[in-house]
Amino acid sequence: MADRRFLPRRNEFLKGTIHCPNGTVLHAVIRDISPLGARLVLDGGCDVPDAFDLIIPARAVTARAQVRWREDLATGCQIGVIFAEQRRFLTRDHEAFVERLKAHVHAESRDDEPTLDPSCSSASEKIFTS
């Protein structure tokens, strides 16, 4: 069978959690992944909705996934998904930066002459120029 993918997938062994629309959470192993999709392996049956949110903690990513195919295995199930949308979620370092930036903006709005906190400027330059 010919591989019809636009981008090649990388072999991985990542933990993922499937968050179903009804609130159910399932654990999966991501066996291969590309920016456009992934192959997931689950214990148990293939009773997974056609669309769900896939959280990949090791990559700090939440992806809206749509099932393209399903295959029952002797030990569980594997499914192929495409990503409709991907979002990065903030790590603790990013959260701390955002809080410092908010405090800086708030302080600046109270002063007649704004000053720039050096710790904020170096971090913001890295984020906005990357």
CA distance 65 to 18: 9
**Pair 19, 31 in one domain:** yes
- Per-residue pLDDT of 81-97, as tens digits, reads 999 877 766 556 666 66
Average the pLDDT over 112-129 and give the result. 45
96 and 51: one domain?
Answer: no
Say whether both 113 and 98 belong to one domain: yes
Are 44 and 14 within one domain?
yes
Q: Which domain holds residue 113?
A: 92-129
Residues contacting 18, CB < 8 A, separation 6+: 25, 26, 27, 28, 40, 42, 48, 52, 53, 54, 65
Identify whether the C-beta of residue 83 lies closer than 8 Å to the C-beta of residue 64: yes
The answer to whether the pTM exceeds 0.85 is no
In a domain, 3, yes or no: no
Residues 116 and 57 in one domain: no
Residue 57 contacts by C-beta under 8 Å, 6 or more apart in sequence? 15, 17
